[in-house]
Amino acid sequence: MIIVDRALEKRHAEGRPIRVAMSGAGFMGRGIARELARRPGMELAAILCRNVPRGREVAVEAGLPGLVVTDNADEAIAAGTDVFLEVTGSLDYAARTVSKALEQRRHVVAMNPELDGTVGPLLKRKADQAGVIYTNADGDQPGVIMNLYRFVRGIGLRPVLCGNIKGLHDPYRTPTTQEGFARRWGQNVRMVTSFADGTKISFEQAIVANATGMRVARRGMLGPSFDAGTPIELAARSFPPEMFLEGPGLVDYVVGAAPAPGVFVLAATDDPVSRHYLNLYKLGEGPVYCFHTPYHLCHFEVPNTIARAALFGDGAVVPAARPMVEVIAAAKTDLESGTVIDGLGGYTVYGLAENYATSRREDLLPIGLAEGCRLRRRAPRDAVLHFDDVDRPEGRFIDALRAEQDGLFPE
């Protein structure tokens, strides 16, 4: 948002920087710490990290050797008086720290679609009760999609499909197949695997659906594939308009289109004058128009989300009234009775986006709750898992939050 830079410059001139506590010191945390350290009007006040020595390395790399680095959430939250930034990518741990930050009336920016896609609507409600903002982050695809969505609505058009552009989709990828890529870029191999097997994009599109009221056309979305480099304007025509022109609209994705990575929004209008001018400006005759953003710059754009929340009370990706889409667990290979599920980006399960009402009606297992569960019976490859297929670990905070959310939104 263009006004953010001026607002941050004003805070810098006044000597009143936004004070941020960041939870996480992995791949994302390292880059974001550096950005926060060099942005006027912002101050990284603390790093909350289960591996304190790694957190200290991140602080030194960011040029902040005296920074508070702690494994104590209360200490970190106390230092970050304005915003709590969650970038661990965890679920149970993140649920605990985010809930604590909301209890202490801190704005929360979560670069964690997995958490948001599992219990985001409940966390949003808790943020409302505390009088603060809970939002996912700009720079990741959902935030970039929502910026484009709001732009399209702002020029008087109706968004009808929010899309993500992928270069690869193979639900059977594992940490073994993705090890080389992860090593090359210094990323967590399980996170990289979740990108490849479709779990990550399922979460990304689920939280866009929850922010917009949109749905998926079918379990797993449509996800058409194209030859590499196919322009997104052409690829977008593969979505049948009758599937989204009526009703709340859809979230979906394409594989192989360009620009990648990028996002797109399809929009419509019934106004003939608007159609005339859109045609004049080279967007075609309609009835559907394709808008796209050709990049997402995670580390660089997260600070904008922090500023929007702290200075303007505005969230980049905020769950609306109720859950619309969630991500369920499906078997990545034949799983025998007694198998313990290894979670996101592992060897046992992958995620599929499903409409929330269907998931609740069929009692499907959200993949955000799957890690550590033990199978009661055999599950063949690609079978979706149900709650009664597994025994869950005891005492997890994420399960308690999810039970509270399901009580609020039974369907």
- Residue 83 belongs to some domain of the structure: yes
Rounded average pLDDT over 16-40: 96
Do 23 and 82 share a domain, yes or no? Answer: yes
In a domain, 69, yes or no: yes
DSSP symbol at 250:
E
Mean per-residue pLDDT, 355-375: 97
Q: Confirm whether 392 is domain-assigned.
A: yes
Per-residue confidence band for 343, with pLDDT thresholds at 50, 70 and 90: confident
pLDDT of 398 > 80? The answer is yes
Domain span holding position 343: 325-408
Same domain, 398 and 281: no
CATH code, domain carrying 372: 3.90.1210.10
Q: Per-residue pLDDT for 2 more than 90?
A: no
Q: How confident is the model at residue 310 (pLDDT cuts 50, 70, 90)?
A: very high
Average pLDDT of the segment spanning 109-127: 97
Residue 182: its pLDDT value, please? Answer: 86
User: Exposed, middle or buried: residue 360 (CB in 10 Å: 0-12, 13-18, 19+)?
Assistant: middle
User: Do 265 and 177 share a structural domain?
Assistant: yes
Instruction: Concatenate the DSSP letters of all residues of 289-323 into one string.
Output: EEEEE----HHHHHHHHHHHHHHH---SB---SS-
3-state secondary structure 161-201: EEEEEECCCCCCCCCCCCHHHHHHHCCCHHHHHHHHCCHHH
* CA 201/CA 370 separation, integer angstroms: 17
Which residues, at least 6 apart from 305, have a Cβ–Cβ distance to it below 8 Å?
A: 109, 135, 137, 138, 139, 143, 315, 316
Across the range 50-75, mean pLDDT stands at 96
- Report the candidate in 306, 212, 216, 204 with the shortest Cα–Cα distance to residue 261: 204
For residue 131, name the pLDDT band (cuts at 50, 70, 90). Answer: very high
How many domains does the chain fold into?
3
Same domain for 161 and 292, yes or no, is yes
Euclidean distance between CA atoms 163 and 112, whole angstroms:
19
**pLDDT for the residue numbered 411:** 78
Please give the pLDDT value at position 245. Answer: 93
Q: Is pLDDT of 169 > 70?
A: yes
Is residue 368 within 8 Å of residue 398, measured between CB atoms? yes
pLDDT band at residue 6 under the 50/70/90 scheme:
very high
Q: Is residue 317, in this structure, part of any structural domain at all?
A: no
Q: Say whether both 173 and 262 belong to one domain.
A: yes
Q: What is the pLDDT of residues 83-105, one digit of tens each?
A: 999 999 899 999 999 999 999 99
Q: Does 285 share its domain with 164? A: yes
Average pLDDT, the chain: 96
Q: Are residues 256 and 160 located together in one domain of the fold?
A: yes
Residue 186's pLDDT is what?
A: 86
**pLDDT range class, residue 223, cuts 50, 70, 90:** very high
Domain shared by 63 and 197, yes or no: no
Q: Is the pLDDT of residue 306 over 80?
A: yes
| DSSP 8-state symbol, 41 | T
Same-domain status, 107 and 170: no
Q: What is the mean pLDDT of residues 65-87?
A: 97
Looking at residue 31, its pLDDT comes to 95
Mean predicted confidence (pLDDT) in 181-203: 92
How does residue 260 score in pLDDT terms, banded at 50, 70 and 90? confident
My answer on whether 280 and 334 are in the same domain is no
Q: Give the separation between CA 140 and CA 309, rounded to whole angstroms.
A: 16
Q: Give me the pLDDT at residue 1, please.
A: 59
**pLDDT above 80 for 405:** yes
Res 8 pLDDT > 70: yes
Residues 122 and 156 in one domain: no
User: Is 318 among the domain residues?
Assistant: no
Query: Region 148-161: what's the mean pLDDT?
Result: 97
